[in-house]
Structures are given as C-alpha cells and as structure tokens.
DNA sequence: CTGAAAGCGCTAACAT
DNA sequence: ATGTTAGCGCTTTCAG
C-alpha cells in the first residue's frame, strides 16, 4: 500500500488535468506503478494492471509525454529534415519513415529546409532543442557547423539519398555521381552519340548531370545542349525544353532529364508536336516514379527505391535506439537500376549511323 | 547579483549538457535571466543580454524545450494529421502549414492516418500525449471518440479540405458535395449528356462523385459507366479506365475523373490510341495540380487552392494561440474554381445533337 | 530590470 | 511486484 499522497495539483500553475498521482490515488497504488502500467506493463501484476487501466479509462487520463521525456531523457521523437514536401520524388521515403517509426511508437518531428544548407542549420538548432532521439536528414551536404553540432550531441543521425566518404553517423543512400557515369556508359553502349541535358537546379540532380558530362567527355563527346530550370521539376518545363530543342531535330537526339517529371513534359510536347519518340528524340528520366512506366511512350529512367531508403533509415535508427551500439556502423549504398523502356528503344534506323 | 547556486547537475540522471544554471553562473546572473534572454529579450538590459548571449555562444548551450514546455505548459508544437504523404494533392497544404508555422517558431509533429478514422483516433491519442498547442486535421470525418477527446482538451483544432455543419473547432475547407453538383451543372450547361465516372475509393472523391450523380439524376440522366479503383490515383488507372470505355465510343463521352492524375492517364491512353480528345472523349480532372494546364490536350479541372488552405489554417491557429479568443469562430469555405481547358472544349459537331 | 522559490508531471535509482 | 525519494531543466509567480 502506498502512503497517502501530499496534495498535488493545487498550485495555479497546474494544467488541471488528471495526472499519474490522481490515477494512482484512485487505484490505490503509487504513481510509479501507473508509470509502469503505461511503459512496462509486463512488470506489473495482472490484477494491478487491470485496476489501474480501469481508472485510466474512467478518468480519461492522458499521459504527459513532455514530463515523461524530461524525466527519462528519451522523447521518442525523430526529427526528419526534408528539403520540400512538394517534390514527390521523396514522398515514398518520408511516408516509409513515418510509418515504420510509428510502428515502434516513435513520432516524426518535421522540418523543411528548402534545399538550403543554411536553413537546414537553423532547423537543426531548433530541432535539437526538442531533444529528438534521432535525426534523419535528406542529403549529405551540410554546413560545417551543422555537422559539428550533430556530432557533439551524440544523437543518432541518418543521412539519406546521397553518398559521402564521411557521413556524420549512419548513411543510407546512393551515389549521384555513379548514376551520371553509368547512365552515360549505358546510353553510349546503346549507340547514342548526341545528347541534350534538361535539368532543374537542385544540387543532387546537378551533380548527376556533371558526372554524366564528365563520362561523355572521356569518350570525346560533349552534350549539344544543356538547359537548367529553376525550382521544382514541372511538366511545363519539360515541354518548354523540347521546344527549344526542335531546331536540333536534323539528327536524332538523346534528351537526358534530371527528373521523370521533366521527361514526361518532353514526351508531352513531343506528342503535341506529332514528333516520334524514340524515333526523332529519345528521352531518359530519373526516379522511376509511379507514372514512368505508363507514359506514352513509356519512359526509360533510373529507378530509386525511395520507400526502401525510408524503411532502412527507420530500421537503422531503431536498431541504434535499442542500444545496439555493438552493431557495425551503417553505411549502405542501396544503389539504383537503369530501366530501359520505349522512350529509348532503338529503331531500325540506328543512331550509330551518326558516328 | 544572484546568490550562489546550489550544485546542480551532479546526479546520475543528468544529461551532462550545459543548462541554464551553468550559463547563469558563468554570466553572473540568475537562471531566470537566461530564460528571459531566450524568450523575452526585450525585457533584459542590453549589457546583460550581450553577456548572456556570449556565454551561450561559448558554452554551446542548447536550450531544452522539453523542460521549458513542461514548465510553461506550452510546447510550440502543432500536430498535423495527414492521410498519406504520397498523394501530391495535399502537398501544397502541408508545405504551407509547416512553412508558416515555422515563421512563428512553431514546429510540426506529423501523423499519418492512412485515410482511416480509427487509425486517426489512435494517432490523436498518441499526439495528445505530447501536448501540442494546436492540431490540424485533414478532413472532417472522425470517430465520435476523436471528436470528444479533442474537444475536451480544449486544444485549438483546425479541420481542413472539407466542410461540415459541426466542426470540432475551426474549419478551413470547401464542400465536395458542392463541387460534384456544380461540376454536373457546368458540364450539362456546356451540352454534355453522356457521362462516365472514373474515381479511386478515397472518401472525399467518392462523395464528389455521388453528388455529381445526384445532380445528373435531377436532369433525368444517369452516368453510363462508373469505375472505382483502389488506392491512390495513378496514371496507370486512368489508362486502364479509358481502355474499358473504348466500346462506348459510338457517341462522344464526358469522362469525369476524381483526380487530375486519373484524368492525365485517360489523356495518355487517348494519345496512345490515337483518339481525339475532346472530339471523341472529353475529360475532366480534379485538383488543378501543377501539370494540369500542361497536359496534351490541357486538362479541364476543378482548382483547389491547397497552399491557401494551409496558409489560412496556420494563420487561424496562430491567431488563436496569440490569445485572441475574442476573434470570431473560424469556419471558412475557400471554395473552388471550375477551370475550362481544351479537354472539354466543344467542337464544331456539338454534343447537344445527342439529346 | 532582475531575482528567489517553487513547482510542471513524470520516471530513474534504489529500496523492500 | 511495488514503493519512496529525488530529481529532469526550465519558467511561473511573486518580490524587489
């Protein structure tokens, strides 16, 4: 039997809500037992468990995780820093992260950095003040200060959607340079020799393009055209891009886009102009988003397993939070897949004739 | 001058981090002054401000908002409950919410309900335990328990993306029934008489369709076809839908889709089959997503100002949190706009001839 | 403009 | 299996 409690919740500061003390009093147990019912029910005798749960039910008690977090120094909160919510390329990843974390009773604190390392730095400050148990970042490019802050806190960090030799902590992604390189090799091997690049100015897409161009250069080829749009990739930009490429139509042209959405726009404008794809233009996207297999013609692209990245990021974090510091450091390259569809199908009139 | 502090942070439970007490000691002030520097810098003398800020800088102090929230009973956290992150129709809204809240130093706690009222109910429980200062919900359909819990806490709630006579608290949205009705009237007025409905089984889209059909019925018309897909709207579904509609081609058909993505799929399959839109089929979407004006042919649709909903939801919440309980209850219908583009352009051969 | 004292509601640590 | 004690790190309240 617990000893009678001192009166509680009488000061003007209180929230007036039901607390563990009230529940404990009504159930005839000590507050810590209520806490155990909530957090470690296995450690409480069945009868006590039921009694406390009934009181919780009757009183409508809602636990205060803020107080719990302060006392236990664990928040069950994971901060997820995203560049934007409006670029669907990342949606699968964030959805997977939130879903898998929720299964383990962790919640997501969301931060939007707008693709800016400086804004991300501010965000990290804000977020750290809430003492998340873990942080998931999009990308591997951060300010030096961000890196130091994150490392000095010792909070588990997962970087995603990129590769680096020196991750802050854990890393689950793929190499954008490798994609550019392999994409170039792949298209060269198929016989394409004339290239145009259509991209937006997002940092990772830009690096894919640069890597693509470097690989072409190794084969003595320079792209005939490069167009960079601002902001998020949009169908409209792809359409505009194809219009500027029309004068290049004398010879078939391989149009390499930094996103499926841009590529879809190119295909749309081609359909509008009655231009045959892949006959007069071939088109390559990036992302293998859910529409890519169903455009007309179907879009060749680079498949990224966004949901897989999210699932693995969540899993790696949860593993660490379980206390498995003995587990090897996580630095996983999930890779990518070049997907050949109709938009790069070789026709009877081989492009290799332009060599 | 503050009196010398009792030793702090010596127990095994401490986080070993720098606390306000340490900062206060080094700056020669009381802890509460450090707190004021952080929260109400206007109330602190310039010299003190600078001195404390310097110590914060030197020590790398990171405030603990958990402790602050417990003491002040304010978390600066807003819970945002979304059905999914992978349906881009909502992206603008959530992006706007997070962005506008961040400007006011509020952060977003994210919850994914998967379109299920029951899952939302659990989520609300979890979320309430973190004592958010506000909650933003997607939709107005919740379990009775959810409604009661939310109302009994007294936390400001904003429901979005729908209308209801009895909002939990604040409401910023539009009527899906009204959309279905107006859409039918609009298309009937343009002369269309033969309709097919293509939709996914999301609850709000379904209600738009039902309302559309009711309005048609008032004019003695029943849709000739209705196809309901499962899951999120996808281009592939739109393509599949048009294939099943091909036998109906004898007379021109108005295909009403519950999402721009479905409609885009219909247009894609039409292009693939060499079918003239709007000649043989006319197509209507929903959402006016950023691609709708740039499909081929451009897509007639219903414009929803998703970003506006998000901005207003954030603003309404912030207004309430500023303590303006005197402000009138928020119940705003942001409306919608029927957008006529090429996919419903009337041709020389008027559809009205089929009457 | 600044400070002392007293909690906020919970749980770690240590009993029993 | 359950209880006692003592905080977690901050901010409210009340004083000066």
For residue B124, how many other CB atoms are within 10 A of its CB?
Answer: 25
Compute the Cα dihedral for B149, B152, B156, B162 and give only its sign: positive
Alpha-carbon span A126 to B355, nearest angstrom: 64
Q: What is the pLDDT, as a whole number, of residue A326? A: 64
One digit per residue, the tens of pLDDT, for chain A of length 355 reads 676 766 555 555 666 689 999 999 999 999 999 999 999 999 999 999 999 999 999 999 999 999 999 999 999 999 999 999 999 999 999 999 999 999 999 999 999 999 898 999 999 999 999 999 999 999 999 999 999 999 999 899 999 999 999 999 999 999 999 999 999 999 999 999 999 999 999 999 999 999 999 999 999 999 999 999 999 999 999 999 999 999 887 777 899 999 999 999 999 999 999 999 998 999 999 999 999 999 999 999 999 999 999 999 999 999 999 876 666 778 999 999 999 999 999 764 554 444 3
- Cβ-based contacts of A125 with chain B (< 8 Å): 62
A131 Cβ partners below 8 Å, 6+ apart?
A69, A73, A75, A77, B64, B65, B66
Centroid of chain to Cα B85? 10
Contact A174, A332 (CB under 8 A): no
The CATH H-level superfamily of A20-63 is lambda repressor-like DNA-binding domains (1.10.260.40)
**Interface test mutation site (partner B, options A69, A85, A266, max chain B beta carbons within 10 A):** A85
Those nucleotides of strand D lying less than 7 Å from any protein Cβ are: 1-14
**Residue B69 and residue B89: Cα distance in Å, rounded?**
34
- In angstroms, the CA of B149 and the C1' of C9 are apart by 20
- At residue A324, the pLDDT reads 63
B148-176 pLDDT, tens per residue?
A: 999 999 899 999 999 999 999 999 999 99
pLDDT value of residue B251: 74
Name every chain A residue with its beta carbon within 8 A of the beta carbon of B91. Answer: 85-86, 88, 91
- For residues B352 and B159, the model is more confident at B159
For position B248, what pLDDT does the model report? 82
Contact across the interface for B234 and A290, Cβ inside 8 Å: yes
Q: Name the residue facing B98 among A88, A110, A291 (closest C-beta).
A: A110
Percent of chain B with pLDDT over 90: 84
A68 touches strand C (CB under 7 A): yes
Q: Which residues of chain A are in CATH 1.10.260.40 domains?
A: 20-63
- CATH number of the domain located at residue range(s) A75-174+306-324 in this protein: 3.40.50.2300
Which residue is associated with the tokens 């030096």? A144
Subunit contact B112:A128, Cβ cutoff 8 A: no
Say whether B15 and A73 touch across the interface (CB within 8 A): yes
Nearest nucleotide by C1' position to the A40 CA atom: C11
- pLDDT tens for B20-51 read 999 999 999 999 999 999 999 999 999 999 99
Q: Which residue is nearest to nucleotide C11 (CA to C1')?
A: A71
Find, among B130, B155, B72, B96, the residue nearest to A78 by Cα. Answer: B130
User: Once rounded to an integer, what is the mean pLDDT over residues B226-254?
Assistant: 92
Q: Do A112 and B98 touch (CB under 8 A)?
A: yes
Report CA torsion sign: B35, B39, B45, B51. Answer: positive
Cβ proximity of B168 and B322 under 8 Å: no
Nearest nt to the B21 alpha carbon by C1'? D9
Out of A130, A152, A290, closest to residue B66 by CB: A130
Q: Which nucleotide is nearest to B69 (CA to C1')?
A: D10
What residues of chain A lie within 8 A of the CB of B67, using their CB?
70
pLDDT band at B355 (very low <50, low <70, confident <90, very high): very low
Beta-sheet strands, E only, within B103-252:
107-112, 134-138, 157-160, 170-173, 195-200, 225-229
Mean local confidence (pLDDT), B104-129: 94
Contact, A152 CB vs strand C, < 7 Å = no
Give the span between the Cα atoms of A158 and A321, in whole angstroms. Answer: 12
Tens digit of each residue's pLDDT (9 = 90 or more) over B174-215: 999 999 999 999 999 999 999 999 999 999 999 999 999 999
- Determine if strand C comes within 7 Å of the CB of A13: yes
Residue numbers 113-142 of A with CB closer than 7 A to any atom of strand C: none
CA of B325 to C1' of D13 (A): 24
Closest CA to A225 of A246, A206, A207, A204: A246
Distance between A353 CA and the closest CA of chain B, angstroms: 29
Looking only at Cα atoms, what is the longest distance across chain A?
A: 93
Domain with CATH 3.40.50.2300 in chain A: 75-174+306-324, 176-303
- Strand C bases contacted by the protein (CB, 7 Å): 1-14
The per-residue pLDDT for range B59-86, each reduced to its tens digit, is 999 999 999 999 999 999 999 999 999 9
Check CB contact under 8 Å for B239 and A294: yes
Closest to B164 in 3D by CA, of B155, B150, B154, B175? B175
Q: Do A110 and B107 touch (CB under 8 A)?
A: yes
Q: Is the peptide bond before B278 cis (omega within 30 degrees of 0)?
A: yes
Cα B311 to the center of its chain, rounded Å: 10
Inter-chain CB proximity A110 and B131 less than 8 Å? no
Test A294 with B126 for CB contact under 8 angstroms. no
CATH number of B176-303: 3.40.50.2300
Convert the pLDDT of each residue in B284-337 to its tens digit: 999 999 999 999 999 999 999 999 999 999 999 999 998 766 667 789 999 999
């Amino acid at each position: 039997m617990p000893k009678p409690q001192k009166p509680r919740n009488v000061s003007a500061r209180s929230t007036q809500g039901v607390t563990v003390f009230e529940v404990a009093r009504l159930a005839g147990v000590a507050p810590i037992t209520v806490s155990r019912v909530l957090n470690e029910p296995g450690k409480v005798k069945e009868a006590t468990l039921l009694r406390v749960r009934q009181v919780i039910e009757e009183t409508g008690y809602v636990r205060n995780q803020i107080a719990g977090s302060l006392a236990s120094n664990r928040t069950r909160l994971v901060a997820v820093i995203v560049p934007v919510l409006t670029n669907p390329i990342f949606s699968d990843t964030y959805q997977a992260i939130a879903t898998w974390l929720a299964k383990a009773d962790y919640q997501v604190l969301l931060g939007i950095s707008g693709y800016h390392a400086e804004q991300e730095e501010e965000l990290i400050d804000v977020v750290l003040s809430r003492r998340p148990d873990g942080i998931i970042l999009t990308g591997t490019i951060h300010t030096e200060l961000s890196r130091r802050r994150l490392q000095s806190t010792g909070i588990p960090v997962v970087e995603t959607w990129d590769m680096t030799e020196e991750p802050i902590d854990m890393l689950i992604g793929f190499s954008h340079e490798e994609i550019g390189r392999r994409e170039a090799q792949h298209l060269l091997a198929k016989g394409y020799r004339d290239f145009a690049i259509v991209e937006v100015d997002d940092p990772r897409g830009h690096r894919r393009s640069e890597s693509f161009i470097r690989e072409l250069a190794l084969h003595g080829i320079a792209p005939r055209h490069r167009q960079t749009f601002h902001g998020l990739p949009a169908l409209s930009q792809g359409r505009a891009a194809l219009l500027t490429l029309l004068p290049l139509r004398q010879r078939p042209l391989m149009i390499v886009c930094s996103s499926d959405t841009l590529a879809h726009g190119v295909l749309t404008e081609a359909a509008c102009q009655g231009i045959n794809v892949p006959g007069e233009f071939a088109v390559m996207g990036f992302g293998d988003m859910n529409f890519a297999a169903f455009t007309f013609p179907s879009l060749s692209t680079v498949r990224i397993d966004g949901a897989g990245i999210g699932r693995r990021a969540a899993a790696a974090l949860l593993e660490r939070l379980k206390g498995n510091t003995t587990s090897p450091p996580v630095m996983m390259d999930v890779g990518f897949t070049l997907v050949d569809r109709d938009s790069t199908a070789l026709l009877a009139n081989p492009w290799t004739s332009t060599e």
